[in-house]
Structure 1
């Protein structure tokens, strides 16, 4: 499992315009971006009846994990199951492809097939749905710009318009009613392996910005 550094910072719109222009000059856009340089992300998060994932985030537990199913630009032919872990401030993400039919089976609580899957991650989710009572909890939508830089394996993302589907788990409803989470600020995330190149550090000016422990899942649960 490859653990990476991950820093999150709130920025305002003027910061966004300045940072964006500099990132475009140095970094490459993510392959998923559209003509406007962004893409839409929909994530379906899992939690149990005790809201363990939510509580561990709120309480800043040092060793925690969460599962989600994610798709991009309402393209339901490309879906991933992901597990994100955080240990001692470092983050890691495991993912595996999952089909729409498999996702719909999970949403319908038809999970016996998961225990026989060839994917270790699907088997792990199945085990934790059985032993830890994990269940699909809520949907989070947002828009993202993403930039990559080879040295340091750097990825910089800019997220905005974070919206929640409240209690809905209707993953494939493109007309799903969502509401803004109330987070009007733009979120800058910087991820890298062992080092952050100075040219990138100078652009994002990490030391001069307020770092945050913002969680899209946690903020989406404000409503319930």
Structure 2
């Protein structure tokens, strides 16, 4: 079994001026994500899980050191590549495990038909089944946004700009391309995320200087849950 890799993850709210300045500097030394389109971006849609006690939401707000959340993630509305993911936070470090999932399997989960998860040969499916049964996890909220991502080999650095962050409010229809959404973070702001393994190269530290802005506890899921 592949060893779980915990990574550092820093998040900032930045404005358009910050974004333009940082992006221009990044372009000189970092490689654009291979999945980007002609506008340097790609679309992400995530369906997050939570229970009737809002466990994932409350743990994030309360800053619990050891927490996790499940989500199903779709890119560019392409149903041929979907991932079931569990994201974990442990004393400030983050890790993620994922497994491929089909559109048909997603629809079954959304509809409450989950017995197939128990019989799967994928451990993450089995774990989701147990937690849907024992913790009453259910599909809860859709979050949409546009991502621009850059990578740097040394330190395994990944820097992303997340824009136009929206939610489908009470809809769980992951595959509705005409889903009505509402903005959850003021569009004057962009979420800058910096992820790396053991160290952040000094050249990257210099590039992402955002004046006096400090890293903050940004959560697209929490922002979306304000609407349902």
Query: Above 0.5 in TM-score?
Result: yes
2:192 to 188, 194, 217: 188
Structure 2 counterpart of 1:219: 223
Aligned residue pair count: 224
SS class of match (1:105)? helix
List 4+ stretches of structure 1 deviating above 4 A.
none
Are positions 1:16 and 2:1 aligned together?
no
The whole-number CA distance in structure 2 between the counterparts of 1:174 and 1:53 is: 27
Are positions 1:103 and 2:106 aligned together?
yes
The whole-number CA distance in structure 1 between the counterparts of 2:178 and 2:6 is: 36
Structure 1 pair 131–70 and aligned structure 2 pair: CA distance change class (3 A): same
Structure 1 counterpart of 2:179: 176
Post-superposition CA distance 1:5-49 (Å, at most 9, x none): 000011110110010011111100111110100011000000000
1:130 to 104, 129, 133: 133
The gaps in structure 2 that reach 5 residues or longer are none
The whole-number CA distance in structure 2 between the counterparts of 1:176 and 1:32 is: 23
Are positions 1:6 and 2:14 aligned together?
no
Q: Given that residues 74 and 81 in structure 2 are in contact (C-alpha distance below 8 angstroms), is that contact kept between their aligned partners in structure 1?
A: yes
Structure 2 counterpart of 1:197: 201
Q: Please report the TM-score for the alignment, with normalisation by the length of structure 1.
A: 0.98
Q: 1:68 deviation in Å?
A: 0.2
The whole-number CA distance in structure 1 between the counterparts of 2:160 and 2:58 is: 26
SS class of match (1:218)? helix
Q: 1:147 deviation in Å?
A: 0.3
Q: 1:203 deviation in Å?
A: 0.4
RMSD, aligned α-carbons = 1.0
The whole-number CA distance in structure 2 between the counterparts of 1:178 and 1:13 is: 22
Q: Please report the TM-score for the alignment, with normalisation by the length of structure 2.
A: 0.96
Post-superposition CA distance 1:78-129 (Å, at most 9, x none): 0000000001000001111000000011011111110011111111111100
Q: 1:207 deviation in Å?
A: 7.7
SS class of match (1:14)? helix
Q: 1:206 deviation in Å?
A: 6.2
Are positions 1:148 and 2:151 aligned together?
yes
Post-superposition CA distance 1:41-93 (Å, at most 9, x none): 00000000000000101111111000000011100110000000001000001
SS class of match (1:220)? helix
The gaps in structure 1 that reach 5 residues or longer are none
The whole-number CA distance in structure 2 between the counterparts of 1:16 and 1:42 is: 22
Q: Given that residues 18 and 210 in structure 2 are in contact (C-alpha distance below 8 angstroms), is that contact kept between their aligned partners in structure 1?
A: no
